[in-house]
Amino acid sequence: MLVYVNGRFVPKEEATVSVFDHGYLYGDGVFEGIRAYNGRVFKLDEHITRLYESAHAILLQIPLSPEEMAAAVVETCRRNQLSEAYIRVVVSRGPGDLGIDPRKCPRPTVVIIADRLALYPAELYEQGMRVMTVATRRTSPAALNPRVKSLNYLNNILARLEANLAGFAEVVLLNDEGYVAECTGDNIFIVRHGRLLTPPPHLGILQGITRDTVMELARRRGIPVEEAVFTRHDLYVAEECFITGTAAEVCPVVEVDGRKVGDGRPGPITRQLMADFREYARTHGTPIWDEPAQQAADLTPRTRAGGTTTAPRRAPA
């Protein structure tokens, strides 16, 4: 496997960052998780836009243009011969000193990893998963807005620890007012009286790209979609429930806190949207190999301290 590190493609064993990097020391940075399906990078422009918005929110200047970053993502897939992949783009504040002052970090670190990933077992997509609500509350937007996809995921990890201890594949976090927010790495939807409901961003959720795609696919089916505030009670009495995420895609939920959702099986709207999403994801996206000469013109050798590197100049069409 080759990993993109600050403009160079290196074997994963050599893909290292400084122990003084503020991403390592303080979780000071941003990231994106992106999928490639059938030789196409799914929703690449949307992921790149969110990455740069997150960086702007924390005053982090990414040393590549959005077009260069998009081209680097595609080239990382090419270098690893991956048509189906999970891609992680990480931009940290970079090396500094042991203090927290970001001004001591003059050069951000950029890492892109492309590998294979299967988050949940296949049977959960057929039979549905059990979830529970946890004591850990979602970080308040007033403290650290979850719409910034930062490297600080301790809130999510604390909830994941509760999931592991209780034997659940996923759990639901409430916000500090007791309303349903999201899961440890996924957004959540319910079906009530034929309407598809999902929590609004102001409750303290990451506005997921898979979430937004599913909402659009539902509207195309004529299914009413709303961003709405709801509670655990609404989860308990919902006709259907499912979660969405870049890694998880669309996965049905059939039990919440020991209560069956609907008849305890994935519902018809959930199954339809699962099928619609899989078809859409496999037929839309930025081509990895379909461009002439594999977009050779996008990669021009440049010399930096430490050797010659290949840096992308523009994104594939």
Residues serving a catalytic function are: 149
The candidate with the shortest Cα–Cα distance to 196, out of 277, 280, 273, is 273
The candidate with the shortest Cα–Cα distance to 102, out of 155, 29, 32, is 29
Structure tokens at 146: 């979850």
Q: Which residue shows structure tokens 């790149």?
A: 48
Chain centroid, CA 44 distance in Å: 12
Q: What is the largest CA-CA distance in the chain?
A: 62
Write the DSSP assignment of 4-45 as a string of letters. Answer: EETTEEEEGGG----TTBHHHHH--EEEEEEEEETTEETTHH
The SS3 of residue 219 is: helix
Is residue 195 packed enough to be buried (19+ CB in 10 Å), middle (13-18) or exposed (0-12)?
A: middle
Residues linked to residue 10 through DSSP beta bridges, in sequence order: 3
108-126 burial code (b ≥16 CB/10 A, e <16): bbbbbbbeeeebbeeebbe
The answer to whether the CB of 47 falls within 8 A of the CB of 125 is: no
Q: How many CB atoms sit inside 10 A of residue 44's CB?
A: 23
C-alpha–C-alpha distance, residues 312 and 317, integer Å? 13
Interacting residues of 158 by C-beta distance below 8 A, sequence separation 6+ = 136
Interacting residues of 291 by C-beta distance below 8 A, sequence separation 6+ = 316, 317
